[in-house]
Amino acid sequence: METWIDIAENSDFSIHNLPFGIFVRDGRGTPGVAIGDQIIDLHAASKLGQFDSLDFDKAVFEAEILNPFIATGKSTWSGLRQILQDALCDQGSILHEFKSKILVDRLSAEMRVPVSIGDYTDFYSSIEHATNVGKMFRPDNPLLPNWKHIPVGYHGRSSSIVISGTDIKRPKGQTLPPDADKPIYGPSKRMDMELEMAFIIGKPTALGETVSTENAEDHIFGKVIFNDWSARDIQKWEYVPLGPFLGKNFGSSISPWIVTMDALEPFRCESVTQDPEVLPYLKTNGSNNFDINLEVDLSTEEGNTTTICRSNFKYMYWSMAQQLAHHTANGCNLNIGDMMASGTISGKEKNSYGSLLELSWGGKENIDLNDGTQRTFIQDNDSVTIRAWCEKEGKRVGFGSCIGKILPAD
């Protein structure tokens, strides 16, 4: 596909991508699609007739979130994406004729959380990550008995999910210092990030309804980068018996552009071999994982940047289809905009570990930075940038970046 838009060769937002997001125009959230360094204003394009051949209520583009558009269904998402690809290759299109009204500079645009997130679930689906964490606390038996039988997860806090670029305050909470017999209250001393991705529900279900692994992807609109900020010392003290709470819910960051399943289709890859065999409702056929490159940078307050992790989404033990099937196995209902995160994504090599907890092995080993300093966990005014992209046969589909900075506690 040859487009009339000028797109850098290494751009995440090629014509093969066309992700959806919400940007600010004239003081309000506006649905848009990223292409190169531009944003297609879907409301403006719709008013000028670009999507007249599609049968759906164009008023969805007047909303300041994507939920109404997502509710129009998969055929509309795919049809609109195809119309845009065609228009971007046709200088006689409405998009080209009225480009001055429709196209907006992406690099200077303010972005918002693209969907209203009713519920958020975080999984724990990387066997390398689960094994690493288990070894720190249970060296002889790192994986708990249920881990290879179910996609383990917990219900998180949707209201504290924020858009990339939003600063996060270091949380306070109870911790139990080493060799102490009583907890103390104060700022976390073990701030961490977690390299994750998340998918967004695009098709709802009724309470009591289940979704099979075969049909699971029909319920997924697309994916974003997800940084599950974690206060490890608070988490360690509080997690027994009910799991994550204040060590997790103070903030999670997401990238602004939702990459659709259509765009990810060319990057399918074989799933990880699961042993023992899973129960019938979790069985899948074919290629259910995706080859998505992942990279994490840590930047100091002085501006020095070090890449601390290179990983890949293909390492996931439990696929999105299995996560979704298990999530609904008890009849739990899904709503449009619900978000489900993967859990930390780690590979087999140490430089592919997706958290500082693993990279520093529980704080026992220093992480060397490019400026000669070291880290075990995140210091005040450190920033973390996560990038994700797919690349194959000259096609590049990326997610942009997810950036967050840790500010001192009040």
- The one-digit pLDDT tens for each residue of the chain (410 residues) are 899 999 999 999 999 999 999 999 999 999 999 999 999 999 999 999 999 999 999 999 999 999 999 999 999 999 999 999 999 999 999 999 999 999 999 999 999 999 999 999 999 999 999 999 999 988 888 999 999 999 999 999 999 999 999 999 999 999 999 999 999 999 999 999 999 999 999 999 999 999 999 999 999 999 999 999 999 999 999 999 999 999 999 999 999 999 999 999 999 999 999 999 999 999 999 899 999 999 999 999 999 999 999 999 999 999 999 999 999 999 999 999 999 999 999 999 999 999 999 999 999 999 999 999 999 999 999 999 999 999 999 999 999 999 999 999 99
Residue 142 has a pLDDT of 94
Strands 293-299 and 305-312: antiparallel
Residue 56 has a pLDDT of 98
Q: Is 129 among the residues known to form the active site?
A: yes
Same domain for 270 and 189? yes
Considering its fold, how many domains does the chain have in total?
Answer: 2
Which residue shows structure tokens 């014509």? 15
Q: Which candidate, 265, 219, 214, 217, places its Cα nearest to that of 70?
A: 219
H helix or E strand, kind and range, residue 374: strand 374-375
CATH code, domain with 258: 3.90.850.10
Q: Which candidate, 21, 34, 101, 35, places its Cα nearest to that of 65?
A: 21
Dihedral of CA atoms 238, 239, 243, 245 in degrees, nearest 10, equals 30
Same domain for 285 and 198? yes
Domain boundary among the residues 76, 96, 112 is at: 112
Same domain for 80 and 143? no
Same domain for 201 and 140? yes
Residue 306 has a pLDDT of 98
Tell me the longest C-alpha to C-alpha distance in the chain.
74
CA distance 186 to 189: 9
What is the SS3 assignment for 31? Answer: strand
Same domain for 312 and 360? yes
End-to-end CA distance of the chain: 52
3-state helix/strand/coil string of 212-256: CCCCHHHHEEEEEEEECCEEHHHHHHHCCCCCCCCCCCCCEEECC
Domain boundary among the residues 94, 112, 130 is at: 112
CA distance 294 to 301: 23
What are the residues facing 210 on neighbouring strands?
Answer: none
Residue 230 lies inside a defined structural domain of this protein: yes
**Cβ burial, residue 338 (10 Å; 0-12/13-18/19+):** buried
Residue 286 has a pLDDT of 86
Domain that holds residue 145: 120-407
Q: Does the N-terminal peptide bond of residue 183 adopt cis geometry, omega within 30 degrees of 0?
A: no
Q: Are 327 and 344 in contact (CB under 8 A)?
A: no
Residue 351 has a pLDDT of 97
Same domain for 341 and 296? yes
Residue 236 lies inside a defined structural domain of this protein: yes
Residue 137 has a pLDDT of 84
Q: Residues 66, 68, 74, 80: is their CA dihedral positive or negative?
A: negative
Angle CA 164–100–68, to nearest 5: 50
CA distance 117 to 337: 5
Across 156-173, b (16+ Cβ under 10 Å) vs e yields bbbeebbbbeeebebbbb
Same domain for 261 and 175? yes
What is the SS3 assignment for 339? Answer: strand
Catalytic residue, candidates 129, 219, 326, 327: 129
Residue 136 has a pLDDT of 93
For residue 400, give both structure tokens. Answer: 């942009």
For residue 249, give both structure tokens. Answer: 């819910």
Q: Is the full-model pTM beyond 0.95? A: yes
CA distance 348 to 259: 26
